[in-house]
Amino acid sequence: MPPAPSDTAPPSGGRRGLLTLLGVDLWERFSFFGMAAILVLYLTAAPADGGLGMSQQTATALFATYMSLNFLAGLPGAWLADRVLGARRAVLAGGCLIACGHAVLAITAAPALYTGLALVVVGTGLVKPSLAAMVAASSGTAKREQAFSRFYMCIQVSALLAPVVTGALAEKVTWHLGFAAAAFGMAAGLAQFRIGLRVLDGIGSAPSRPLTPAEARTAARRVGAVVVLGAVAVTVVVLGVVPLLAVLALLGVATVCLPFLYLRALGRHSAVEHRRLTAFTGLMAASAAFWMIFAQSGSVLSLFAAHHTDRDVLGFTVPASWLQSVHPLFILLLAPFVGRLRAATTTKFAGALAAAGASVCVMALAALLATTGDVSMAWLVAVYLLLSLGEIVLAPVGLALAAAVAPPGYTNRFLALNGMFAAVGVVLGGQFYRLTAVVPQPAYFLMLGGVALAACAAVAGTAKRLSPHLPD
């Protein structure tokens, strides 16, 4: 059995291996962003137009819970990759589940919604941390952050194209054809990954810390219990036994608590120095404020584009979902310049939070103007510009930090922790949007801006204490 790659090992797989990993992530992100671009619009569309007719607050809370569970699922997915499957098999199994989930969503029946979303969540939990760990192994310590930056920049091509393709099919033809296009994208990614496995030089071919027989039996019982609980949760929602908002609230509480509880457990059982783990936790908690705002793109900003934005261009009505392609377009344009910035990790986190706070302050002004009529698309373009600046700085740095802090055998799980804190922000943002039932939208956006700017000030104010305990 080949050993797990360590932080000090030389890069494996070379450039061709990295390109193989990039290819599968391009297609996985195509399916993810393609579906995310149309989900809230589908949920809120009138039944006469093929939608489900949900209220905006309920649809936004459901979308935020779905997004947060995608991040949260990375923890058990990373554990399975580390201890049972190995990263390769985790990617293959997860990709199959994602493709099946999108195919189920293409079925024109409301109960298929929750089953399809559940399959996508489980599959994403297997794929994302395993791909990130394989990228880390392919690049080596010295070029890890650079590799993540390039990787993050390149996959934005999918995020750029996916809303255009799925949005056109969904809004101009039928919603379910958009979901079918997302399924095709994931299937194409799996085919590309399977063909390219031979160039990866053993990366991810086996679990880094395989289970003992006794641990395997215990794990099988726990996985069975989780599967049963998940099936019960989907069933009670589909049958209306428990109100959807109550289920979403319960999942939200669990999402907020889990990363802190898991970090406490890691502090007891892993070899991470206490002060380093504390500094890592502080930055991850601050990053949740950024992801809280980032997650508004697929829900709140999409609804604003659909209902409060003048989208007429020379007689053609631009689909609301297409505006979500502006965000990755800016990342592609800005990444070559932002990638050259050299600054401390804390400085990058603080700068990203400042950009996110500024973006929702701009959004507050746009929402104020929208009270008297539709506003120009330029307002959303400005918001996406600021969000893109923040994301291209914070996202790759967060991944690189998690990979650097992780002790041997824990890389996948620390990368999953980065996603879990993103989930905290996403689910909080979805729950906060329910306030718009009683609070004007401009005030709502100002509140989000205040949270992000406060987190920015906290990181900047503690930088001198945190930096000595963080890896270079």
pLDDT score at 471 = 61
β-strands 375-376, 316-317: how paired? unpaired
pLDDT score at 129 = 79
Can you give the residue range of the structural domain that contains 67?
Answer: 14-209+243-469
Helix (H) or strand (E) segment spanning residue 229 = helix 213-239
- Name residues whose C-beta falls within 8 Å of residue 217's C-beta, 6 or more positions apart in sequence: none
- Name residues whose C-beta falls within 8 Å of residue 359's C-beta, 6 or more positions apart in sequence: 293, 382, 383, 384, 386, 387, 390, 449
Convert 304-329 to b/e letters by CB count within 10 Å (16 or more is b): bbbebbebeeeeeebbbbbbbbbbbb
In a domain, 188, yes or no: yes
In a domain, 7, yes or no: no
**Four-CA torsion 142, 148, 149, 151, nearest 10 degrees:** 130
In a domain, 430, yes or no: yes
- Name residues whose C-beta falls within 8 Å of residue 314's C-beta, 6 or more positions apart in sequence: none
Q: Tokens at residue 279, please?
A: 């500094």
In a domain, 214, yes or no: no
Give 251's Cβ-side CA count (13 Å radius): 29
In a domain, 269, yes or no: yes
**Four-CA torsion 112, 116, 119, 125, nearest 10 degrees:** -150
pLDDT score at 148 = 67
pLDDT score at 6 = 40
pLDDT tens, N- to C-terminus, the chain (472 residues): 333 334 334 444 456 767 777 778 888 888 888 888 888 898 898 888 888 888 888 888 888 888 888 877 877 888 888 888 888 888 889 989 998 998 888 886 667 888 888 899 999 888 887 887 787 776 665 566 666 666 766 677 888 888 888 888 888 888 888 888 888 888 888 888 887 777 777 776 777 777 778 878 887 888 788 778 777 877 777 676 777 777 788 888 888 888 888 877 776 766 667 777 788 888 888 999 999 998 888 888 989 998 999 999 888 888 888 988 888 888 888 877 776 777 788 888 999 999 999 999 999 999 999 999 999 999 999 999 999 999 888 888 887 788 788 777 777 677 778 888 888 888 888 888 888 888 899 999 999 999 999 999 998 888 777 666 566 5
Residue 313's beta-bridge partner residues?
316
- C-alpha span between 279 and 468 (Å, rounded): 9
Is 111 in contact with 209 (CB distance < 8 Å)?
no
In a domain, 228, yes or no: no
pLDDT score at 7 = 39
In a domain, 2, yes or no: no
Residue 274: CATH number of its domain: 1.20.1250.20
Total domains present in the chain: 1
* 374 CB neighbour count, 10 Å cutoff: 13
In a domain, 9, yes or no: no
